[in-house]
Amino acid sequence: MSSPTSDKDFYKIFGYITLGIVILAILIAILSKVFASSVSNDAYDDVKQTATEERLASPEKINLASNPTFKSEVIEVASSKSGKDVYNSVCMSCHMSGAAGAPITGKVDQWTVRLAKGNDTLYSNAINGIGVMPAKGGLMSLSDEEVKLAVDYMLEESK
Protein backbone atom coordinates (compact mmCIF):
# COMPACT_ATOMS: atom_id res chain seq x y z
CA MET A 1 0.00 0.00 0.00
CA SER A 2 0.98 3.53 -0.63
CA SER A 3 1.43 5.99 2.13
CA PRO A 4 -0.94 8.95 2.13
CA THR A 5 0.62 12.37 1.54
CA SER A 6 -0.14 15.05 4.04
CA ASP A 7 -1.33 18.52 3.13
CA LYS A 8 2.02 19.89 4.21
CA ASP A 9 3.87 17.67 1.70
CA PHE A 10 1.41 18.60 -1.10
CA TYR A 11 1.94 22.34 -0.59
CA LYS A 12 5.71 21.85 -0.44
CA ILE A 13 5.75 19.97 -3.80
CA PHE A 14 3.30 22.46 -5.34
CA GLY A 15 5.55 25.35 -4.23
CA TYR A 16 8.66 23.75 -5.78
CA ILE A 17 6.86 23.16 -9.09
CA THR A 18 5.51 26.73 -9.16
CA LEU A 19 8.95 28.15 -8.34
CA GLY A 20 10.48 26.02 -11.10
CA ILE A 21 7.96 27.31 -13.66
CA VAL A 22 8.60 30.95 -12.67
CA ILE A 23 12.38 30.49 -12.87
CA LEU A 24 12.01 28.78 -16.28
CA ALA A 25 9.85 31.69 -17.56
CA ILE A 26 12.41 34.25 -16.37
CA LEU A 27 15.22 32.27 -17.98
CA ILE A 28 13.32 32.09 -21.31
CA ALA A 29 12.65 35.85 -21.19
CA ILE A 30 16.33 36.62 -20.56
CA LEU A 31 17.50 34.29 -23.34
CA SER A 32 15.01 35.68 -25.85
CA LYS A 33 16.14 39.22 -25.03
CA VAL A 34 19.79 38.25 -25.54
CA PHE A 35 19.18 36.47 -28.84
CA ALA A 36 16.73 39.08 -30.15
CA SER A 37 19.20 41.90 -29.59
CA SER A 38 21.84 40.12 -31.65
CA VAL A 39 19.52 39.86 -34.71
CA SER A 40 19.52 42.93 -36.96
CA ASN A 41 16.09 44.23 -38.00
CA ASP A 42 17.41 47.02 -40.20
CA ALA A 43 15.85 45.63 -43.38
CA TYR A 44 12.48 45.19 -41.68
CA ASP A 45 12.67 48.66 -40.13
CA ASP A 46 13.43 50.21 -43.54
CA VAL A 47 10.47 48.45 -45.18
CA LYS A 48 8.20 49.42 -42.30
CA GLN A 49 9.32 53.07 -42.46
CA THR A 50 8.79 53.21 -46.25
CA ALA A 51 5.32 51.66 -45.98
CA THR A 52 4.36 54.12 -43.24
CA GLU A 53 5.54 57.08 -45.31
CA GLU A 54 3.55 55.86 -48.33
CA ARG A 55 0.39 55.49 -46.26
CA LEU A 56 0.76 58.95 -44.78
CA ALA A 57 1.75 60.64 -48.05
CA SER A 58 -0.56 63.41 -49.15
CA PRO A 59 -3.10 62.47 -51.82
CA GLU A 60 -1.64 65.02 -54.25
CA LYS A 61 1.38 62.74 -54.70
CA ILE A 62 -0.70 59.77 -55.83
CA ASN A 63 -0.64 59.38 -59.60
CA LEU A 64 -4.14 58.30 -60.58
CA ALA A 65 -3.25 58.49 -64.27
CA SER A 66 -1.13 55.36 -63.89
CA ASN A 67 -4.16 53.43 -62.59
CA PRO A 68 -5.63 51.53 -65.55
CA THR A 69 -9.17 51.77 -64.15
CA PHE A 70 -9.20 55.53 -64.64
CA LYS A 71 -9.62 56.92 -68.11
CA SER A 72 -7.32 59.79 -68.90
CA GLU A 73 -9.44 61.46 -71.53
CA VAL A 74 -10.10 65.15 -71.52
CA ILE A 75 -13.65 66.35 -71.99
CA GLU A 76 -13.80 69.67 -73.74
CA VAL A 77 -16.60 71.98 -72.74
CA ALA A 78 -17.81 74.78 -74.93
CA SER A 79 -16.26 78.00 -73.76
CA SER A 80 -19.55 79.87 -73.71
CA LYS A 81 -22.99 78.38 -73.36
CA SER A 82 -26.32 79.99 -74.02
CA GLY A 83 -28.82 80.46 -71.22
CA LYS A 84 -30.95 77.67 -72.65
CA ASP A 85 -27.95 75.29 -72.75
CA VAL A 86 -27.07 76.02 -69.12
CA TYR A 87 -30.71 75.66 -68.10
CA ASN A 88 -31.06 72.31 -69.92
CA SER A 89 -27.83 70.88 -68.51
CA VAL A 90 -27.94 72.16 -64.92
CA CYS A 91 -31.05 74.07 -63.85
CA MET A 92 -33.80 72.01 -65.45
CA SER A 93 -33.49 69.09 -63.02
CA CYS A 94 -34.95 71.19 -60.19
CA HIS A 95 -36.71 74.05 -61.95
CA MET A 96 -38.77 71.70 -64.14
CA SER A 97 -40.14 69.65 -61.22
CA GLY A 98 -40.04 72.17 -58.39
CA ALA A 99 -37.67 69.98 -56.37
CA ALA A 100 -36.78 71.37 -52.93
CA GLY A 101 -39.10 74.33 -53.47
CA ALA A 102 -37.44 75.60 -56.64
CA PRO A 103 -39.75 77.86 -58.67
CA ILE A 104 -40.96 76.00 -61.76
CA THR A 105 -39.96 77.56 -65.04
CA GLY A 106 -43.05 78.80 -66.86
CA LYS A 107 -45.24 79.29 -63.74
CA VAL A 108 -45.59 83.07 -63.47
CA ASP A 109 -47.12 83.00 -59.97
CA GLN A 110 -44.02 81.29 -58.54
CA TRP A 111 -41.70 83.94 -59.99
CA THR A 112 -43.57 87.17 -59.14
CA VAL A 113 -42.30 87.41 -55.55
CA ARG A 114 -38.76 86.70 -56.70
CA LEU A 115 -38.99 89.17 -59.57
CA ALA A 116 -40.07 91.87 -57.12
CA LYS A 117 -36.68 91.58 -55.41
CA GLY A 118 -34.92 92.49 -58.66
CA ASN A 119 -32.71 90.74 -61.14
CA ASP A 120 -29.52 91.49 -59.20
CA THR A 121 -30.86 89.52 -56.22
CA LEU A 122 -31.84 86.64 -58.50
CA TYR A 123 -28.39 86.65 -60.07
CA SER A 124 -26.70 86.73 -56.67
CA ASN A 125 -28.85 83.86 -55.36
CA ALA A 126 -28.13 81.77 -58.45
CA ILE A 127 -24.38 82.44 -58.32
CA ASN A 128 -23.92 82.08 -54.54
CA GLY A 129 -26.73 79.62 -53.77
CA ILE A 130 -29.78 80.06 -51.56
CA GLY A 131 -31.52 77.60 -49.25
CA VAL A 132 -30.82 74.08 -50.51
CA MET A 133 -29.81 75.32 -53.96
CA PRO A 134 -26.02 75.10 -54.26
CA ALA A 135 -23.96 77.88 -55.77
CA LYS A 136 -24.19 77.88 -59.57
CA GLY A 137 -26.62 74.99 -59.38
CA GLY A 138 -23.78 72.74 -58.23
CA LEU A 139 -21.66 73.19 -61.35
CA MET A 140 -18.88 75.46 -60.17
CA SER A 141 -17.19 75.49 -63.58
CA LEU A 142 -19.93 77.79 -64.88
CA SER A 143 -18.98 81.42 -65.20
CA ASP A 144 -21.10 84.09 -63.52
CA GLU A 145 -22.18 85.28 -66.96
CA GLU A 146 -23.42 81.80 -67.92
CA VAL A 147 -25.45 81.61 -64.70
CA LYS A 148 -26.95 85.04 -65.41
CA LEU A 149 -27.88 83.89 -68.92
CA ALA A 150 -29.64 80.85 -67.44
CA VAL A 151 -31.57 83.09 -64.99
CA ASP A 152 -32.55 85.39 -67.85
CA TYR A 153 -33.73 82.36 -69.86
CA MET A 154 -35.89 81.12 -66.95
CA LEU A 155 -37.36 84.59 -66.45
CA GLU A 156 -38.12 84.91 -70.15
CA GLU A 157 -39.84 81.51 -70.16
CA SER A 158 -41.84 82.46 -67.07
CA LYS A 159 -43.38 85.69 -68.37
Segments making up each domain of the chain, as ranges:
7-66, 83-157
In three-state secondary structure terms, 133 is: strand
> Model confidence over 48-97: pLDDT tens digits?
888 888 777 666 555 555 555 544 454 445 556 787 888 888 888 888 88
Which residues are CB-neighbours of 147 under 8 A, at least 6 positions away?
A: 86, 123, 126, 127, 136, 137
Least confident of 44-48, 74-78, 131-135: 74-78
Tell me the CATH number for domain 83-157.
1.10.760.10
* Alpha carbon distances (Å) from 156 to 25, 36, 91, 92: 89, 82, 14, 14
Burial 122-131 (b: 16+ CB within 10 A, else e): bbbbbbeeee
CA separation for the pair 80, 78 (Å, rounded): 6
